[in-house]
Structure 1
Amino acid sequence: MSESVPQDLPLIRPDDRLEIPLSPDQNLVIRKAAQLVGWTVEQYVLSATLDRAERDLFEQATLQRQTPARLVAEPTEPSDDSPGTPHPAPTVEPFISVVTALG
């Protein structure tokens, strides 16, 4: 998995850990899903958590770049899929938004 966060973040000690209480059902679901894709539980949880974090950071950076006037007044182009259905104008690339959100 490639890194997509800046390298100037505070250093984390190798023994830093997250501990999350799980119900037996939650534990079983995560273990089965990790096994299904051939990953360890740690790899699976880390991948899913980073994926969600990057998505949230991307959405936040995109919202910060949009002005209220753009959200209300900017016309959108009609979609080719269904006539008369607009699709939103393109936004910033995910990597750029993550860097922007992290400062």
Structure 2
Amino acid sequence: MSKLFYKAIIEDVQNDKCSDAEVDALLDIYASTVKRAATTSARKAWFELGDFACSKVMGVNHFTLMLERRQIGEQEQWWGSFECDQKVLKVIATLERN
């Protein structure tokens, strides 16, 4: 079964200077990006959120995202870091079947 049908579960969030609206928007983007990256063999990926269709409307088009797949014991985790100037949002997620 394709991992596109899995649900991204946010395990941990560390926010440094991002507004609540930015956090909500970035977490939405993160969940969909993790599901798409999980279908590839990539271990690390870097994204400019300005390339995402919804990012300008959501007000987060100036952020970048570094995404890394890590195997922690028996669990595959996705570690991400959004950055824009002095703003940083770090996120850890896992995938589970719907």
TM range (shorter): under 0.3
Q: Computing the radius of gyration over CA atoms, which structure comes out larger, 1 or 2?
A: 1
Q: Which has the higher contact order (CA 8 A, sep 6+)?
A: 2
Q: TM-score, normalised by structure 1?
A: 0.26
In proportion to residue count, which structure has more strand? 2
Q: TM-score, normalised by structure 2?
A: 0.27
